[in-house]
């Protein structure tokens, strides 16, 4: 199965926005802001959609939690998307994650619940 995790990356606590050079001529090239005369695009947050390939729902959730913990985001959505689309909201919503509350399954009857390995 192919899952996609969608989340929004907030700025660092000491910054108010992300800044990117916008250069149609050198598209796809990373240029330090101090070395370009390109127009600067400002964004208060960054949307992200990351694939989690070949996983079961429980495995996808565990992998997604690792991404969430290292991204500074507090909410995320996990989609089952066999089309491998990078378009936001594509696929079937499997579960949502909220910091402090954990996962809420949108279709609990169709997917097996997450269970962590026991320490026996």
Pairing state between β 75-80 and 92-98? antiparallel
**The predicted structure's pLDDT at residue 116:** 43
For residue 76, CA distances in Å to 51, 67, 71, 116, 120 come to 13, 10, 11, 20, 31
pLDDT band at 32 (very low <50, low <70, confident <90, very high): low
Structural tokens at position 25: 């001529």
Average pLDDT (15-43) is 67
Query: Which of the pair, 102 or 114, is modelled with greater confidence?
Result: 102
pLDDT tens digits for range 36-83: 666 777 778 888 899 987 678 889 999 999 889 888 889 999 999 888
Q: How far apart are CA 75 and CA 7, in angstroms?
A: 6
Contacts of 69 (CB under 8 A, 6+ apart): none
Query: Which of the pair, 23 or 106, is modelled with greater confidence?
Result: 106
């Amino acid at each position: 199965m192919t899952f996609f995790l969608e989340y929004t990356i907030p700025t660092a606590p000491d910054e108010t926005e992300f800044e990117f050079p916008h250069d149609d001529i050198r598209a796809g090239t990373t240029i330090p802001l101090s070395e370009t005369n390109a127009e600067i695009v400002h964004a208060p947050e960054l949307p992200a959609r990351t694939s989690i390939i070949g996983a079961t729902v429980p495995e996808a959730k565990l992998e997604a939690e690792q991404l969430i913990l290292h991204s500074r985001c507090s909410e995320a959505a996990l989609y089952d998307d066999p089309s491998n689309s990078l378009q936001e909201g594509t696929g079937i919503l499997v579960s949502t994650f909220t910091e402090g509350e954990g996962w809420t399954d949108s279709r609990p009857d169709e997917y097996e619940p997450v269970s962590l390995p026991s320490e026996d």
